[in-house]
A and B are shown apart, each in its own frame.
Chain A
Amino acid sequence: DAGVIQSPRHEVTEMGQEVTLRCKPISGHNSLFWYRQTMMRGLELLIYFNNNVPIDDSGMPEDRFSAKMPNASFSTLKIQPSEPRDSAVYFCASRPLGGKGNQPQHFGDGTRLSIL
């Protein structure tokens, strides 16, 4: 059973460039989450989708960040223009919607982003 798949695993780019991170959730999981992990701020939820619809984007740091989920098997997180303070590990997670919270979120391997 394939887990959450993220690409690329590593990205190094210069400030001002557009960055696109990609995520494929586990098949059948209809909730998808984007997190950012840094030493200073820990793990932060950026945005999450239920059934491809954005539910809560209050964690998106600013307008330079945008996320889409065009279908049930694909999501993107875009940063344009990128800045050095965006350097972090970005995780995507998924879980089945509904139930009583007894299904944990399953995390991908993350994208390690460095903005020079």
Chain B
Amino acid sequence: ELKVEQNPLFLSMQEGKNYTIYCNYSTTSDRLYWYRQDPGKSLESLFVLLSNGAVKQEGRLMASLDTKARLSTLHITAAVHDLSATYFCAVDVASGSRLTFGEGTQLTVNP
């Protein structure tokens, strides 16, 4: 059974600081997705990572994938309050269909 673990589950940081969220998974896969969820809202797709060594950046967020280590990271640079949300990674073993989600990392950025 595929397991997806995120670390940390809760993260409180100050504006302007950098931090990294980690996503480990237990089986071979070369497709990983990052989503953002605001409280009471839907999930918004952030990144699609499709191969070993893939790196994608959007604003203050950068995601990477190491399929050999079964690890993805979501790096936050110079955090701002608007980044406060819950971030999920999801691993795919069936071409985008069978997603297994991590527990989510609840990020709070304090002024």
B45 pairs with A106, CB closer than 8 A: yes
Chain B residue at minimal CB-CB distance from A58: B98
Chain B residue at minimal CB-CB distance from A98: B95
A114 and B17 CA atoms in complex are apart in Å by: 39
- Asked if A45 is an interface residue, CB under 8 A from chain B, the answer is yes
A99 pairs with B96, CB closer than 8 A: yes
| Size category, A interface | 20 to 34
**What is the minimal beta-carbon distance from B82 to any residue of chain A, in angstroms?**
20
- Asked if B103 is an interface residue, CB under 8 A from chain A, the answer is yes
- A103 and B42 in contact (CB under 8 A), knowing A42-B101, A42-B104, A43-B88? no
A45 pairs with B99, CB closer than 8 A: yes
- Asked if B43 is an interface residue, CB under 8 A from chain A, the answer is yes
Interface residues in A29-85 by Cβ distance below 8 A to B read 31, 33, 42-43, 45, 48, 50, 55-56
Interface, chain B (partner A; CB < 8 A): 31, 33, 35, 41-45, 48, 50, 88, 92, 95-104
**What is the minimal beta-carbon distance from A45 to any residue of chain B, in angstroms?**
7
Chain A residue at minimal CB-CB distance from B33: A104
Q: Which 7 A-B pairs have the closest CB atoms?
A: A101-B96, A104-B45, A43-B101, A101-B31, A107-B43, A107-B42, A101-B95
- Taking CB atoms, residues of chain A closer than 8 Å to B92 are 101
Interface residues in A90-115 by Cβ distance below 8 A to B read 91, 93, 95, 98-110
Chain A residue at minimal CB-CB distance from B47: A104
A108 and B41 CA atoms in complex are apart in Å by: 9
Chain B residue at minimal CB-CB distance from A89: B40
Our pick among A45, A104, A107 for the contact of B48 (Cβ within 8 Å) is A104
A56 pairs with B50, CB closer than 8 A: no
- Taking CB atoms, residues of chain A closer than 8 Å to B42 are 91, 107-110
Among B31, B43, B50, residue most surrounded by chain A Cβ atoms (within 10 Å)? B43
A102 pairs with B48, CB closer than 8 A: yes
- Taking CB atoms, residues of chain A closer than 8 Å to B98 are 45, 48, 56
A42 pairs with B96, CB closer than 8 A: no
A93 and B45 CA atoms in complex are apart in Å by: 11
